Structure formats: structure tokens, C-alpha cells
Amino acid sequence: MRYRKLGNTDIEVSVICLGTMTFGQQNTEAEGHEQLDYALSKGINFVDTAEMYSVPGRPETQGSTERIIGTWLARTGRRSEIILASKATGPTPGLKYISPNLGFSKSRILEAFEGSCKRLQTDYLDLYQMHWPERRTNFFGVLGYTQHDDEWVDNFLESIDTMNQLVKDGKIRHWGLSNESAWGAMRSCSVADTNHLPRPVSIQNPYNLLNRSYEVGLSEISFRENISLLAYSPMAFGLLSGKFYDKTDTPNDRINQFKNLSRYNGSKSLEASERYIHIAREAGMTPALMALAFVNDRPCVTSNIIGATSMMQLTENINSVDITLTKDVLDAIELVHKDISNPAP
């Protein structure tokens, strides 16, 4: 395993992060524990979750992922061996079963944090993140920003000051953003600096062969402001594995099971995926390994958040850390990207 510094901190996180949003929906508690055991045996020290998980969000399964991680921590006593990250839920009408006051007010952040710690059976988090912005902006499948008339009132200061309180109280070590835009990232930095508060150390955004929109503005922020990209959905819901192209997918696969999660279902995504699959196979590797190796070694990426529903998938995903793509492969990837840029924002 390889490790990189998390933002401007002294924490070193594994290049591969274990994403856990399938625990409690597509994976049982026993399977989740097996994944955690195996990941740590391979040098992974970074585990990411959220209060709304498992995915898709449903009242029956909300918090199930954190509870599964919590029982693993209680059973193994390995809390000190992992960098544990979770997220507070942003406002969404369909998720009000989590809380009627979703968002990032002081009271809601503290409520969400305490709930996560209880389920995780820990008294602190290494990284606490705001899952998506309160305001209307371009995230979750929206590539460009258009002016919105919303009722959002800027409360960056209240949110960041609350994170600072959690840091001072020893409850979190650092805080981060998720599904954030360039404006939101820089606004966070500006408010933090003006008020002598800690900056975000990371941004957890989608990044894969079908969605490289992070490169447009946010990658410069990662470099110049030392804010780590924690890349999620590197396999584009499994589309980049080749199983849908090969017709070996099953009804249990994520794209088939959750038709409402349609970010990767467009015709251009399918066309680009087919071309990437051919590049990988001509280079003598599986499409999954190529897709993950690409994300692992992008200059703006600190850690690649993988997710698996089987141990076979998990093993292959982790093995991607040992793959270095050749210039010929990277050049071929760029040709596809030039022809079909960001078909799945």
C-alpha cells in the first residue's frame, strides 16, 4: 500500500480508502466485517462512511453502515488503526426522516455527529465532512451552474465555527467538504481564514473516467490550497468494470438495482465506457484495474474511495494500487476524453 498526506495535516492516509455505503444494503454485517478485516490486512488505514448510509437512502437502512462499522470496532478493538471519516447529511426533502432540520446549523451538526459516534461506537472522528452543500448548486449529476433563486442564507461561519468547536473539544481531528464546487471551497477557506478558524482539509467529490469535471476548477484549489481530493465513485457504479458491456451483470448490480440513481446510464457514458474497456483489454488488463489505476495516480487525488459487494471485487480493487499505466494507455484515454468529455457528471 502507498500513503499520502491528508491536506495540510500530519495524517497519512492510504491511497485506497474503503468506502462502505453498501454495508447494510448490498452487504450483510458479516460481509462488511470481512471487508474491513481484509482491507486492513492489505494496508488500508482509511475508512469512509456517512450518517445517511447505506445507499440508496431509506428509513429502514439509515445508519446501518455506521452500525456495522461500529460492531466491527467493538469486536476487534482496532479503532486506533484506522482513519475514520463520516459525513453530516445536507438538506434534501426525501431524507427528512433523518432529521427535520437537515443542513449545517450548529445544532444539526452536533446532532448528526453524536448520532454517528453512537452508531460507530467511538468518541471521536478523524475527519468529519459536510455531505453536500446547503445551497442550490451544481452537484449530483449537474455539470454546469446556472443562477438559482433560492432562500439559502450564507451560514459558512456558523458551520465552520461548529467544526472548530468539535476540534477544540477533541471530538474530531479535522473537517472536510463533499460534493462541493470551486466557489464553495474557496468561500470556506476565506471564511475560515478571516475568522482564524481551521480550513477544510479535504473535498470528497466524484472522479472517474466518465467524470473528470473536478479538473476544471477544483484541481487547482487542491494544489494551491492543499486540500485533498478524496475521489468517490471511481468505477462509475460498476459501469467501468466491463460487466454491463459483456452482459454478465446481474439484477443485484447497483445500476440495475437502483434505477433512480441514473448518473451513469446515459448513451454517451455507455459509448465512452466501451472505448475505455477496449483500451484496457488491448493493454492486457481488466477494465476495472485500468479505471482504478487511472484515479490512483492522478496528481490531484490523495485517496481513491473504492466500494465492493464481493471479496473478489475488493481484492481486484485493492490490487490496482500496484498498477502504473503506460504513456500509450494514458494517451489513448485522453483521446476518448477529448471526444466524450464528462458524460456522467
Q: How is the chain split into domains, by residue range? A: 3-238+295-323
CATH number of 3-238+295-323: 3.20.20.100
62, 101, 149, 193, 267 from 205: Cα distances, Å: 21, 24, 24, 23, 23
Cα gap 268→229, rounded to integer Å:
26
Flag whether the pTM goes above 0.85. yes
- One digit per residue, the tens of pLDDT, for the chain of length 345 reads 999 999 999 999 999 999 999 999 999 999 999 999 999 999 999 999 999 999 999 999 999 999 999 999 999 999 999 999 999 999 999 999 999 999 999 999 999 999 999 999 999 999 999 999 999 898 888 888 887 777 889 999 999 999 999 999 999 999 999 999 999 999 999 999 999 999 999 999 999 999 999 999 999 999 999 999 999 999 999 999 998 888 888 777 777 776 665 678 889 999 999 999 999 999 999 999 999 999 999 999 999 999 999 999 999 999 999 999 999 999 999 999 999 999 998
Cα gap 66→88, rounded to integer Å:
12
Strands, DSSP E only, in 117-227? 125-130, 172-178, 202-206
Return the active site residues: 53
C-alpha cell of residue 109: 451538526
DSSP secondary structure string, 95-123?
A: GTTT-TT-S--HHHHHHHHHHHHHHHT-S
Q: What is the DSSP letter of 91?
A: P
